[in-house]
Structure 1
Amino acid sequence: MNDWRLDASKMVEEQLIPRNVRDMAVLRAMASVPRHLFVPRRYAEDAYIDRPLPIGDRQTISQPYIVARMTELLEARSGMKVLEIGTGSGYQSAILSFMGLQVWSVERIDFLAERARKRLSDLGFAVHVIHGDGRMGFADAAPYDRIIVTAASERVEPLWEEQLALEGRLVVPKDVTTGGQRLLVRRKEDRGCTDTWYDYCRFVPLLGGTVEFF
C-alpha cells in the first residue's frame, strides 16, 4: 500500500461527510483504523473504495459508509460495553475499540473468529472475540449498553433484548416486507422498546449455529 492514511482521509472526506455522517469520534476512527489490513491481500488496493469486499466463505466487509452509519446510530460513548453480532473481518470491532468502547464480538465461523482475534490483537485492539451462535448473544458479559448486528436478521432476537441494558440501543439491518433490509434502531426503555427506521441496506443473512473448519 501507498500511504493508507491519505486513502482513509479521502474516504472520510468523499464518502462519509457528504452523506451526513457527523459524529467526530466515528470520523476519527474511520480515518485512523487501517481498513486494508482487514481484507484479503489481493483486495488491499480496493479497501478504501465505496463498496463491500469479500473476506471468505461468502462473507463480506461492509462498505465504509454503512460501517460509519451504523456506528453513528449506536450513539455510543467511550467506556460503554458493546456486543457485536458477526465479527467477520474484525473491522467493525476495531472501529468500536478505537472509540474507547469495551467490545465483545460473536462470530459463527471459526476461522473468521480466529483470524479476526489475531488481527485485532496484533493491532492492539482489546476485543473479546467469541466463536459462537450470534442469535444467542453472549450472556456472560451482559448487560450491554449497545448491541450492533452486522448481518441481516428476520427479527430482533429475544436474547439480544434480554442482554441489552435499560436505556440501551440496538442497531440491526432487519428484513422488511417490501424486500431487502433497513437499519432499525431499537431503544430499550422502562415501558418497553421503541423502534426507529433508517437507511435501506444490503447484508448477508444472519445464520444460526456455528461452523467449524479446524
Structure 2
Amino acid sequence: MNATCFRRPIGCLKTALRQTRHQRLLTRSMATAPAAEPPASTPSPSTPAVKPSYFGPRDKPIFAVYPPPPSIRQTHKNPLPALDAQQRSTLDPTGARTRLFDPARPDAAKVGDVLMVTTKSGEPFSGVCMSIRRRGVDTAILLRGQLMKVGVEMWYKIYSPTVIGIDIVWRRPKRARRARLTYLRKPKHDMGSVDHLVFAWKKERYGMRNKGRQLGTRF
C-alpha cells in the first residue's frame, strides 16, 4: 500500500493508471509464432477479359462470300481499237475509203484537193476540201463549193452508208501549209465554182472508158 496516498489523494490513482498502462503495453507486445507460409505456386494463366461487343453479329447465319465476277478490263485493257476495226470492217469492207484518206499514202486525198461526193439522195456535190477531221469511223471532210454563185460548205462523213462514192477531181499542185484552209472563205482566196474542173475530169474519164472498151479493158 502506497504511503503517499494520505498526503496526496490522487497519487494512488496515478500509480494505478500507470500500472494499467504498463500491462496494456505488455499485452500488446506479446505475439504468437507466425504460421509457415504455403509455397508460392505458379499462377495459372488466366484468359484476358474480352469486352462484350454490342454491335457485332449475334446469332446470325453464316453466309457464303463469293469472289467478284471476272472483269473484261483485265482481258481488254483498251477495247476502242478493236471496236474501231470492227466498225470499219462493217462500214468499209473493201478498205477503199480508209486508203483514200490514209495520210501515209502518197496518193491519198489531201487538204486543198477538189473532191466530188456522191450520195444516195440528191445530186453529187463537188468542192474544195478545206479540212479533214480524223475521228476513226466518224472521220469527216469539209467541202466548199458554189450553188447559184453562193458559197456553200458541206460536211460529209466518209464512212456514212448514205455516201456512195468519193472521187478526187483535181489535185493541188503543192502541198498546203495548213491543215485547215479557212482562208478560202475570203474573197481574195476563194476558188469559186469548180464546175469546170468537174467537167474536165468527167470528159477525161469518159474518154478513157471508151478507149478501154475498144481495147477490151475495163475502167
- TM-score of the aligned structures, taking structure 2 as reference length: 0.26
The structure whose residues are more often helix, as a share, is 1
Choose between structure 1 and 2 for higher RCO, CA contacts under 8 A separated by at least 6 residues.
1
